[in-house]
Amino acid sequence: MRSRQRMFAAVMRLLLKCLRLGRRRRFKLVRQVEQLWHYGHLCLRSLLYNSFSNGDVVLDSLFEPVYWLVDHVTRWFGVVFVALVIGLTSSIVAIVYICLLPLILQTYTPAWICWHLAYGHWNLIMIVFHYYMAITTSPGHPPQAKNDLTGVSICRKCIAPKPARTHHCSICNRCVLKMDHHCPWLNNCVGHYNHRYFFSFCLFMTMGCIYCSISGWEMFRDAYAAIERMKLLEKERLQVAANQTYYQTPPPTFSFRQRAFHKSVVYLWVLCSSVALALGALTLWHAALITRGETSIERHINRKERQRLQKKGKVFRNPYSYGSWDNWKVFLGVDVPRHWLTRVLLPSPHLPHGTGLSWDLPPCVTEQRAPLLAI
């Protein structure tokens, strides 16, 4: 009996020693893994340490392949987008001339006929002129040689002088003076020399679409109702043919010309209304930027700078803003009152103020304001 108790006690002591030894080894292994993890993390941070790194930099790095794909797709499909704009605009103009203009001449009063002819053709001329100038005018590029440029930085991508308000376009692979953005619908950058053409095209295209949507609302309702009647009569005709009852007369069908007319009116109204909403929102956004004397890129830069100075109790002032009214005069190139007619309401190829390399006070600015901080 005693021998069995001694044997059982020895087995239990041996088991406890094994458990203690296993626990020590397990704890030792965990400590080694933790040490290796901290050491690797410290090495990685020491190799990749940058005082300017933050969450935005990490996200930009992760999305760099997406940016590369978008840049190359936009570069190659720019011609397709331009052809699409020309094709859609031409289709609307053709529908107006072929389908709607004869109806207007037959049913409207002489005063309304004169109004539609005058406003419609003026709006069309402004759209065509500004779109052509926007896609053919170079936005402006800084010179490669650093001759008379003072106080400029160097672009990290093209290793060339980079004046104020100049930014590098990854799609064009060049620096652009007063760059706003790269527009795929123009297949061109929007910069110092064609910014006015781009905005004017957006404005007059929006006005034209709103004009077509409002004036064609009644025609759209009638055409939509006619198409619904076409579908109903077509369904009845098929039912009669399926029943094979010769004593019933099939309902009359619309001609091809009538079908084409009604579908063209519906297509015109839907397309113009959609473009008016989308392009109208873009036009309002750019109008707000012009009022503040900013570009799309400078909007983000100024916002970050404003937040940074606000934390320090300081106020940021845009050095390129001269006030809402003067900003519009500088943007449109209005120096004297008659320029509102000759340069704004009529097609005008006049150049903007300045060369885009330096930003002196324009002559049309009524009051000079000293900037608090330059970007």
The confidence score (pLDDT) of residue 243 equals: 62
The confidence score (pLDDT) of residue 373 equals: 41
The confidence score (pLDDT) of residue 305 equals: 87
Q: Tell me the pLDDT band of 371, cut-offs 50, 70 and 90.
A: very low
Comparing CA positions, the residue from 263, 139, 262, 281 lying closest to residue 205 is: 281
Cα 309 to its chain centre, rounded Å, is 29
The confidence score (pLDDT) of residue 374 equals: 38
> How far is 232 from 230, CA to CA, in rounded Å?
5
Per-residue pLDDT of 11-58, as tens digits, reads: 666 666 665 655 555 566 777 778 888 777 777 776 666 655 666 666
What integer is the mean pLDDT of 359-370? 71
Query: In the chain, pLDDT over 70 holds for what percent of residues?
Result: 75
Domain-embedded: residue 110: yes
Domain-embedded: residue 48: no
Domain-embedded: residue 78: yes
The confidence score (pLDDT) of residue 87 equals: 96
How many domains does the chain fold into?
Answer: 1
CB 364 within 8 A of CB 329: yes
Catalytic residue numbers read 183
Domain-embedded: residue 7: no
Domain-embedded: residue 104: yes
Domain-embedded: residue 303: yes
Tabulate helix, strand, coil % of the chain (nearest 5).
Answer: 65, 5, 30
Domain-embedded: residue 298: yes
Residue 241 above 80 pLDDT?
A: no
Burial, 75: exposed, middle or buried (Cβ in 10 Å; 0-12, 13-18, 19+)?
middle
Per-residue pLDDT of 152-209, as tens digits, reads: 688 888 888 888 899 998 888 889 999 999 998 999 999 999 999 999 999 999 999 9
Strand-pair category, 174-176 with 188-190: unpaired
Query: In the chain, pLDDT over 90 holds for what percent of residues?
Result: 42
| Average pLDDT value for the chain | 83
Q: Which two tokens stand for residue 48?
A: 């990749």
What integer is the mean pLDDT of 235-246? 62
Per-residue pLDDT of 88-140, as tens digits, reads: 999 999 999 998 888 888 888 999 999 999 999 999 999 999 999 999 999 99
Domain-embedded: residue 199: yes
Residue-wise DSSP of 35-71: HHHHHHHHHHHHHH--TT--HHHHHHHHTHHHHHHHH
Which DSSP symbol is given to 167?
E
Segments forming the whole domain that contains residue 344: 62-242+252-362
Per-residue pLDDT of 202-229, as tens digits, reads: 999 999 999 999 988 988 999 888 888 8
